[in-house]
Chains A and B, each alone.
Chain A
Amino acid sequence: MSSIDAHLPVLQVVVPLLVAPLVTILRPSGLAWAATTATSFMALMIAVGLTAGALEGDIQRYEVGAWAAPYGIELAVDSFGALLLLILTGASTFALLAGKASLDQQIESGRQPLFFSAWLLVLAGLAGILVSADAFNIFVFMEISSLASYVLIAGGPDRRALPAVFKYLMMGTIGATFYLIGIGLIYMMTGTLNLADIQVRLVDVAGLRPVVVAIGFITVGLGLKAAVFPLHVWLPNAYNFAPHAATVLLAACAAKVSLYVLLTFDFVVLQPVLPEHDPHFGAFLMPLAVLGILAASAVALFEPNLKRLLAFSSVAQIGYILLGASMVSLPGVTASLMHMFNHALAKGALFLAVMCLATRLPSLELDDLAGAAKRMPWTMAAFVVGGLSLIGIPGTAGFTSKWYLISASLEVGGAGGWLLIGVIVTGSLMAVVYIWRVVEAAWFRVPLAEPTEVREAPALMLSVTWLAAAANVYFGLSPWLQTTLASNGARMLLGEAP
Chain B
Amino acid sequence: MTTLFGVFLLTLLVITALAVVRARHLVVAVMLLGIFSLLLAVNFVLLDAADVALTEAAVGAGISTVLFLGALALMSEREHYGSSRPWLSLVVVVSAVLVVVYATFDQPRLGDPEAPVLNHVGPWYLEKTPEYVDIPNVVTAVLGSYRGYDTLGEVFVVFTAGIGVLFLLSAGPGAQNNGRRRAVAEKKIGLRDERLLHVIGQLVIPFVLLFGLYVQFHGEYGPGGGFQAGALIAAGFILYALIEGEQRALEALPQGGLNFLMVGGALLYGVVGLAGILLGSNFLAYSVLAQDPVFGQKLGIILIEAGVGMTVCGVLLRIFHAFACRERIR
Using a CB–CB cutoff of 8 Å, the interface residues on chain A facing chain B are 7, 10, 14, 17-18, 20-22, 24-25, 62-67, 70-73, 108, 110-111, 114-115, 117-118, 121, 124, 128, 136-137, 140-141, 143-144, 147-148, 150-151, 154-155, 159, 174, 178, 181, 185, 187-192, 201, 205, 208-210, 212-214, 216-217
Q: Are B121 and A67 in contact (CB under 8 A)?
A: no
Given A121-B156, A210-B107, A213-B103: A18 in contact with B122 (beta carbons within 8 A): no
* Minimum-distance CB pairs A-B, first 5: A191-B120, A140-B153, A213-B103, A191-B116, A66-B285
Given A110-B170, A148-B160: A22 in contact with B263 (beta carbons within 8 A): yes
Q: Are B108 and A147 in contact (CB under 8 A)?
A: no
Closest B residue to A64 by CB, please name it. Answer: B149
Q: Are A65 and B276 in contact (CB under 8 A)?
A: yes
Q: Are B285 and A151 in contact (CB under 8 A)?
A: no
> In the assembly, what is the distance between CA of A63 and CA of B149, in Å?
10
Residues of A within 8 A of B96 (CB): 178, 181
Instruction: Let me know if B182 is at the binding interface, CB within 8 A.
Output: no
Residues of A within 8 A of B108 (CB): 188-189
B103's contact among A70, A111, A154, A185, by CB below 8 Å, is which? A185
Given A21-B266, A144-B156, A209-B106: A65 in contact with B150 (beta carbons within 8 A): no
Residues of A within 8 A of B263 (CB): 21-22, 24-25
Closest A residue to B103 by CB, please name it. Answer: A213
Q: List 8 A-B contacts (CB under 8 A).
A: A14-B270, A20-B159, A62-B283, A71-B121, A110-B170, A191-B120, A209-B102, A213-B100
Q: Are B120 and A209 in contact (CB under 8 A)?
A: no
Residues of A within 8 A of B150 (CB): 73, 136-137, 140
Q: How large is the interface on B (under 10, 10 to 19, 20 to 34, 35 or more residues)?
A: 35 or more
B157's contact among A62, A111, A140, by CB below 8 Å, is which? A140
List which B91-131 residues lie within 8 A (CB) of chain A.
92, 96, 99-100, 102-108, 115-122, 124-125, 128
Residues of B within 8 A of A24 (CB): 163, 259, 263
Residues of B within 8 A of A10 (CB): 277, 282-283
> In the assembly, what is the distance between CA of A7 and CA of B160, in Å?
25
Given A10-B282, A64-B283: A21 in contact with B159 (beta carbons within 8 A): yes
Q: Are A21 and B267 in contact (CB under 8 A)?
A: yes
Given A7-B277, A71-B125, A191-B122: A151 in contact with B153 (beta carbons within 8 A): no
Q: Are A190 and B116 in contact (CB under 8 A)?
A: yes
Given A25-B259, A65-B283, A151-B163: A72 in contact with B146 (beta carbons within 8 A): yes
Instruction: Let me know if B281 is at the binding interface, CB within 8 A.
Output: yes
> In the assembly, what is the distance between CA of A24 and CA of B102, in Å?
47
Instruction: Let me know if B25 is at the binding interface, CB within 8 A.
Output: no
Instruction: Let me know if B174 is at the binding interface, CB within 8 A.
Output: no
Q: Are A67 and B145 in contact (CB under 8 A)?
A: yes
> In the assembly, what is the distance between CA of A144 and CA of B171, in Å?
22
> In the assembly, what is the distance between CA of A63 and CA of B161, in Å?
28
Q: Are B120 and A210 in contact (CB under 8 A)?
A: no
Using a CB–CB cutoff of 8 Å, the interface residues on chain B facing chain A are 92, 96, 99-100, 102-108, 115-122, 124-125, 128, 145-150, 152-154, 156-157, 159-161, 163-164, 166-168, 170-172, 259, 262-263, 266-267, 270-271, 273-274, 276-277, 281-287
Residues of B within 8 A of A140 (CB): 150, 153-154, 157
> In the assembly, what is the distance between CA of A151 and CA of B165, in Å?
9
Q: Are A144 and B103 in contact (CB under 8 A)?
A: no
| Min C-beta distance of B95 to chain A, whole Å | 10
Given A21-B266, A114-B163, A137-B149: A65 in contact with B285 (beta carbons within 8 A): yes
Q: Are B167 and A147 in contact (CB under 8 A)?
A: no
A210's contact among B103, B148, B276, by CB below 8 Å, is which? B103
Q: Are A14 and B273 in contact (CB under 8 A)?
A: yes
> In the assembly, what is the distance between CA of A165 and CA of B132, in Å?
45
B99's contact among A65, A205, A213, by CB below 8 Å, is which? A213
Closest B residue to A174 by CB, please name it. Answer: B92
Closest A residue to B116 by CB, please name it. Answer: A191
Q: Are A118 and B121 in contact (CB under 8 A)?
A: no
Residues of B within 8 A of A124 (CB): 156
Closest A residue to B281 by CB, please name it. Answer: A66
A115's contact among B148, B167, B271, by CB below 8 Å, is which? B167
> In the assembly, what is the distance between CA of A213 and CA of B104, in Å?
10
> In the assembly, what is the distance between CA of A494 and CA of B311, in Å?
43
| Min C-beta distance of B301 to chain A, whole Å | 11
Given A21-B266, A66-B287: A111 in contact with B170 (beta carbons within 8 A): yes
Q: Are A66 and B282 in contact (CB under 8 A)?
A: yes
Closest A residue to B263 by CB, please name it. Answer: A21
Q: Are B267 and A111 in contact (CB under 8 A)?
A: no
> In the assembly, what is the distance between CA of A432 and CA of B117, in Å?
54
> In the assembly, what is the distance between CA of A185 and CA of B276, in Å?
34
> In the assembly, what is the distance between CA of A140 and CA of B89, in Å?
26
| Min C-beta distance of B154 to chain A, whole Å | 6
> In the assembly, what is the distance between CA of A148 and CA of B156, in Å?
10
Interface core residue of A111, A137, A155, A216 (most chain B CB under 10 Å): A111
| Min C-beta distance of B32 to chain A, whole Å | 20
Interface core residue of A136, A140, A154 (most chain B CB under 10 Å): A140
Q: Are A191 and B149 in contact (CB under 8 A)?
A: no
A64's contact among B119, B128, B282, by CB below 8 Å, is which? B282
Q: Are A151 and B274 in contact (CB under 8 A)?
A: no
Q: Are B121 and A192 in contact (CB under 8 A)?
A: yes
Residues of B within 8 A of A190 (CB): 116, 120
Q: Are A141 and B153 in contact (CB under 8 A)?
A: yes
Given A10-B282, A64-B284, A73-B150: A117 in contact with B105 (beta carbons within 8 A): no
Residues of A within 8 A of B287 (CB): 66
Q: Are B161 and A147 in contact (CB under 8 A)?
A: yes
Residues of A within 8 A of B117 (CB): 187-188, 191
| Min C-beta distance of B257 to chain A, whole Å | 13
Residues of A within 8 A of B120 (CB): 70, 190-192, 201
Known pairs A71-B146, A140-B150, A144-B160. 14 more at Cβ < 8 A? A14-B270, A18-B270, A66-B276, A71-B125, A72-B149, A73-B147, A73-B149, A117-B163, A118-B167, A121-B163, A128-B153, A159-B172, A192-B121, A216-B99
Closest A residue to B282 by CB, please name it. Answer: A66
> In the assembly, what is the distance between CA of A174 and CA of B89, in Å?
11
Residues of A within 8 A of B262 (CB): 21
> In the assembly, what is the distance between CA of A22 and CA of B99, in Å?
45
